[in-house]
Amino acid sequence: MTIHDFMAKVAAKNAGEPEFLQAVKEVVETVWDVYISNPRFVKANILERIVEPERVIIFRVPWMDDKGEVHVQRGFRVQFNSAIGPYKGGLRFHPSVNLSILKFLGFEQIFKNSLTTLPMGGGKGGSHFDAKGKSDAEIMRFCQSFMAELFRHIGPNTDVPAGDIGVGGREIGYMFGMYKKLNNEFTGVLTGKGRNWGGSLIRPEATGFGVVYFAQEMLKAKGLSFEGKRVAISGFGNVAWGAAQKVNELGGKVVTISGPDGYILDEEGISGDKIDYMLELRASNNDRVKDYADVYPNAKFFPGKRPWEVKVDVALPCATQNELDINDAKALVANGCICVAEGANMPSTPEAVEEFLKAKLLFAPGKAANAGGVATSGLEMTQNSMRLNWNSEEVDAKLHEIMRNIHQACADNGVENDGFVNYVKGANIAGFLKVANAMCDMGVV
Ligand code: NDP
Ligand code: 2IT
């Protein structure tokens, strides 16, 4: 069997799922040599088994709007792999959600969760629900209806969902409330919970902090730091917010954020109250980053454009999949960018990744760089099981340590003959080995 034959078989089985096939191809290409040279893996047909979700649940989510009209959304939970722990991964509510996107995210989550060193399998779910313009009561009714079906498929030892795009503390609260009512049970079945009801300190900041910790490790390996660096961030959500805070703490200057409508360039730096304002922007649910320039008139808004044309030292894509293409990658390289760390899942297209690797800049794939979010979810699960809470310094120290370890695992498995570290290869191999070995140990199930 060749990679080509393998991918042709996967493509035939998963027709019409481009994002899923994109994610599978990247992993298969980078782990192929390790796989083929391990007779135990080949005999157990691990690669073909690992690209098949253990279970996909698709369900109807009916809900009533404030005018009394009834709507129907489709809900999904992809339970991809439970070889090393309960399924774990976020829920995404966004109009673009479909099975291909959730399968790509669930697949990536397997390897990401393996990299965290914590016992978590891979899963993802969500709905094409559009929160834009919806009232709080509508959001609550939707979340309750979503959980009225999902509750029978999840549990603290089975599957532990969390947030992702469009799902933050408010939505987790409404879903947790419904789960608790239906099961008559208070357990750590969701992560990203509120502080007063089982949530972990630092979880909201964790993904963004983790991305910056990972980038810091990459820079450190080259004798560099964030001090005085210009940084472009895309998105203006949870991950972008956490990343912006940590870049400032480490002495860097964040000059951009972006939304579906364009990007903001703020040469004075996005820091202090501007970071708090990012929370307001996201909570406004209006799909626009433009408003930032009205509040801070020295900043410029570039409609319909992406921030990758700005001259920066470090780029942190934190919005969504395939938001950085080959032209963006070329622009970043031409402008002297030295480090790209993905806060979002698969934000760079395969051609863009190739361009970064060709230029031999420091490039961290999402499944390594953004693993701090799910890692801190894992720490929330631990605190829930122990029925105690760690303080923020303790959680942050553990998160930092996990990100350092992930960096080391990627460097160990991704170093090439000339000393260049291919973090894409390193992350995929390190994440894959642990899951593949666990699957072998458990027989054909
Ligand atoms: P949020 O919903 O908090 O924010 C997502 C942000 O990106 C929103 O501001 C959204 O705007 C914006 N956005 C969406 N599409 C585009 C686009 N095409 N161009 C620019 N901006 C866009 O989600 P998160 O911050 O939680 O998630 C961001 C990314 O990080 C996702 O890829 C997610 O999978 C990933 N991630 C999240 C983790 C977490 O713990 N939350 C953990 C690891 C990864 P709008 O909604 O108006 O379209
Ligand atoms: O993509 C991701 O890793 C997340 N959205 C976080 C998942 C989680 O379970 O915390």
Ligand 1 atom at shortest distance from the alpha carbon of 320: 32
Q: Is the CB of 379 under 6 A from ligand 2?
A: no
Ligand 1 atom at shortest distance from the alpha carbon of 240: 25
The alpha carbon of 171 and the centre of ligand 1 are apart by a number of angstroms equal to 15
Task: Name the pTM for this structure.
Answer: 0.97
Q: Closest ligand to 131 CA?
A: 1
Q: Choosing from 112, 124, 246, 425, which is the catalytic residue?
A: 124
Question: Which structure tokens are listed for 408?
Answer: 């080391």
DSSP conformational letter for 198: T
User: Is pLDDT at 203 greater than 80 in this prediction?
Assistant: yes
Q: Where in the chain is the domain with CATH 3.40.50.10860?
A: 56-187
Q: Is the CB of 287 under 6 A from ligand 1?
A: yes
Q: Is the CB of 118 under 6 A from ligand 2?
A: no
Alpha helix positions (H), 51-98: none
- At the topology level, CATH places domain 56-187 in Rossmann fold (3.40.50)
> Which residue is associated with the tokens 């420091």?
362
pLDDT tens track for 311-324: 999 999 999 999 99
Q: Where in the chain is the domain with CATH 3.40.50.720?
A: 204-369
The alpha carbon of 149 and the centre of ligand 1 are apart by a number of angstroms equal to 25
What is the CB neighbour count within 10 angstroms for residue 96?
12
The helix/strand/coil state of 192 is coil
Does 3.40.50.720 match the CATH number of domain 204-369?
yes
CA 391 to chain centre: 24
Distances (CA, A) of 143 to 92, 170, 176, 179, 243: 12, 10, 9, 10, 28
Region of 307 (left: φ > 0; alpha: ψ -120 to 50; beta: rest) is: alpha
Q: Is the CB of 282 under 6 A from ligand 1?
A: yes
Q: Is the CB of 377 under 6 A from ligand 2?
A: yes
pLDDT classification of 285: cutoffs 50, 70, 90: confident
Q: Closest ligand to 370 CA?
A: 1
The alpha carbon of 344 and the centre of ligand 1 are apart by a number of angstroms equal to 7
pLDDT classification of 360: cutoffs 50, 70, 90: very high
Q: What is the DSSP string of 116-165?
A: TTSS--EEEEEE----TT--HHHHHHHHHHHHHHHGGG-BTTTEEEE-BT
- 124 flagged as catalytic: yes
- Residues of the chain with pLDDT > 70, as a percent, come to 100
Mean pLDDT of the chain: 97
CA nearest neighbour of 317 among 268, 271, 353: 353
- Under 8 Å between Cβ of 85 and 119: yes
For residues 24 and 295, what is the distance between their CA atoms, to the nearest angstrom? 43
pLDDT of residue 284: 83
